[in-house]
A and B are shown apart, each in its own frame.
Chain A
Amino acid sequence: MQKHGFSIKIEGVAQDFGAFAALRNVSLEIKPGELVALLGPSGSGKTTLLRVIAGLNAPDRGRVLFDQEDATYLPVQDRKVGMVFQNYALFKHMTVADNIAYGLKVRPRRYRPSKTEITRRVEELLRFVQLEGLGSRFPGQLSGGQRQRVALARALAIEPRVLLLDEPFGALDARVRKDLRRWLREVHQKTGLTTIFVTHDQDEAMELADRVVVLNEGRIEQIGTPEELYDRPASSFVISFVGEAVALPVTVADGHVNFAGRELHIDTHGLPSGAAKVFFRPADITVASKGNGEIEGRVESIRRTPAGVRATIAIEGYDQTLEIDSPIDQAASLGEKIPLSFTKARVFPADVPDFDDIADGI
């Protein structure tokens, strides 16, 4: 197995499908051997971007470079990308071994390895994906997790320059998923291949990837490590999509944030005056001492969750309730008015989709 990854550079890539802009001016650089997740909701353009890199779509504008070489119009057959499709796209009429050998068998005669060499490579790959002895089975006789490993072995057989995976765990049940995540991480470490995978599952992206690219409506919202995304989200979309977030409508005036006639002590990061929204994590709010709260709310219900206690709070001057994680003492506080203050919160302009809209779109 080669221990070498290619760098990938995407410059101003755009693609329209009729009136629908799947990608709008996307630029991205991926370092050799990196493991990158493309994260976003349906229709965010993440799969289109993966297909552009694979050479299955030609972008309307922009360039794709593999190690400085312009590959934008390089035919998919010559790209040497190892692609694992969402439903694996295994050839049902071929055995597992024939599936894996396919990429070697279709090479022009000059570059085709000998029959014995192909057999040897197939055996090696079967061992690598822990499917020894299953080479003569048909894909229909395998479990979902096994099929995925066959698809991966088939992609690795051509010694790809990059490994691309489209929703690699989408078709599997939750239990198998967890195991395969760890295993994919191992595969990435062993092969050293530049690996890009598409997912709509933030947990998957955060757990696996070195860096995560968050896409929304064909644009990159943020590129960063999982920690950066969680701790320093660049937009209201990112804070809502990556992890849980609660939003409150506020107004910003001269660097001050106002909610229902009260000032909240939050840094506006130079946000211009106007309507805005405060976003915070359910855990980033505490009960303040009397008179020191930034907002006031009445506790409507409290329930246990696996992680702690979740409270539903009706906020004064706001017609919706908020869900927060809280250290509130249940018996004492139900129905009571309590002062609350933020430990961490961010303000973003209000002219972006609401959290609920985003949640619906997932």
Chain B
Amino acid sequence: MINLSVDRQNAWRFRAPSVIPGFGITFGYTLLYLSLIVLFPLATLLWRSSELGFGGLYAVASEPRVAAALRTTFSLSFAAAFIDLIFGLIVAWVLTRYEFPGRRLFDAFVDLPFALPTAVAGISLAALYAPNGWFGAYLAEIGVKVAFTRLGILVALIFIGLPFVVRTVQPIIAELEIELEEASATLGAWRLQTILFVLLPPLVPALLTGFALAFARAIGEYGSVIFIAGNIAYISEIAPLLIVVKLEQYDFAGATAIASIMLAISFIALLVINLIQAWSRKRFGHV
């Protein structure tokens, strides 16, 4: 009898013992809902693309129109994320470190791209940069065409990516202790040296994370881009749009192939973000 009860205590359990009720039902529901809504549909996509095989995927990816769209998407997403990185850092620094009238308001506005539906952003950007729009008219005078070109895609991707960089970097800037700067100054460093050697290095993991998030988001972006892009095949057509085009042509295999490639890239980005954060936690003790 005694042995039996000891065994029960030592037996391996899935969860650690707790007096709190409700694990079974909440955990079960979580798994069920997650499986039905997310995992099963995504698995279907993977299954369908595995039917195509690697050769099939490659064949679709190397169709000139698809290859052009993938190139456009990746190169512009990279460029937009890079511009977001630079300006996001400046915006985060200014909003965190300086006091000026309207700071709170501007800070709240950084989240606008999260809150504003992409279709609305799309048509308003198109209206702004159209040749007769507010910005488009001025830009046309100096010979720059934004709407219905790749430049337009870039503008839209910059718009939707900015908050990712700002919101990732901001808390780290807020955490930088003023003593670090003071210590640097007492050791004889001038302001620029302090910024370069003391303030920027701890921000690098957050900047990389913000960059990766903005990049991943830009790759999948659809609504805010299609209105301003002009969607000219081989020139200003993005990969998500091509999925829609393929679907309209009932080319499910082609759409599935492009979707799988994009999904793979998203997961690689996710993995990179996690690696950066793990490295950062190890090195600096924070994310």
Contacts and interface: CB of A to CB of B under 8 A. Distances in A.
The answer to whether A and B touch in the complex, with CB atoms under 8 Å apart, is yes
A164 to B, nearest CB: 8
Contacts of B197: 91, 102, 106
B177 A89 contact: yes
A54 interface: yes
Interface size on A, as a range, is: 20 to 34
Interface in B191-250: 193, 197-198, 201-202
B180 A91 contact: yes
Dominant SS at the B interface? helix
B285 interface: yes
A56 B186 contact: yes
B187 interface: yes
Given A93-B201, A106-B197, A87 B179 contact: yes
Contacts of A81: 186
A154 interface: yes
Contact of A77 (B177, B190, B284, B285): B190
B187 A154 contact: yes
B185 interface: yes
A89 B189 contact: no
B104 interface: no
A70 B202 CA distance: 37
5 contacts: A56-B186, A77-B185, A77-B188, A79-B186, A158-B187
A82 interface: yes
B275 interface: no
B277 to A, nearest CB: 15
A120 interface: no
Nearest to A77: B188
Nearest to A102: B187
A49 to B, nearest CB: 16
B179 A89 contact: yes
Nearest to B190: A77
Interface in A62-92: 76-83, 85-87, 89-92
Contacts of B283: 92-93, 138, 140
Contact of A92 (B189, B193, B285): B285
A135 interface: no
Given A85-B182, A89-B177, A103 B187 contact: yes
Question: Which residue of B177, B185, B186, B197 has the most chain A CB atoms within 10 A of its CB atom?
Answer: B186
